[in-house]
Homo-oligomer: A and B are copies of this chain.
Amino acid sequence: MKKDSRLSSVLHALLHMAEREGPVTSEELAVCMHTNPVVVRRTMGLLRDAGLVVSARGSGGGWQIMADLEQVTLRQLHETLGEPAIFAIGNRNETPQCLVEQSVNAALDDAFAEAEALLLERFSRITLAELAAEFQRRHAAYRQGQA
């Protein structure tokens, strides 16, 4: 299956918005991310429903961040997106009768659960503010390289 890149997308959009005064339109975000405004609205709509951003219609409208960058974690965003499946590998049959398959499933499920726990734990420790700071560092380094 095609990978779910919405987490990456909303992070990109949120940081972009954080760098700007005033609302950003779906059209702008779509151009910047090489995608379609409707896709932006669909995904950002989930963040709006969670209260992380607000949208305004009509002239001068667009999207704005309502959350504290220090408080929003990657884990929270993952949850807001509906906790999509993390792994592209899984069991052939989730509820097998066969004891052989049950043993295999149990072993794999254990390993995946542990890796998922680690990933989510890391996600819960990364805030938007940290990503913004990391971007500032890269930006400064880039300008230094240019000068």
Contact = CB atoms under 8 A, between A and B. Distances in A.
Contact of A3 (B3, B4, B89): B89
Contacts of A103: 15, 131, 134-135, 138
Given A115-B118, A119-B111, A88 B12 contact: no
A125 to B, nearest CB: 9
Interface in A1-17: 1-5, 7-9, 11-12, 15-16
Contacts of A88: 1, 3-4, 84-88
A119 B24 CA distance: 40
Contacts of A4: 1, 88-90
Interface stretch (A44-52, A60-68, A93-101): A93-101
A138 B98 CA distance: 10
A116 B15 CA distance: 26
Nearest to A15: B100
A56 interface: no
A117 to B, nearest CB: 9
A108 interface: yes
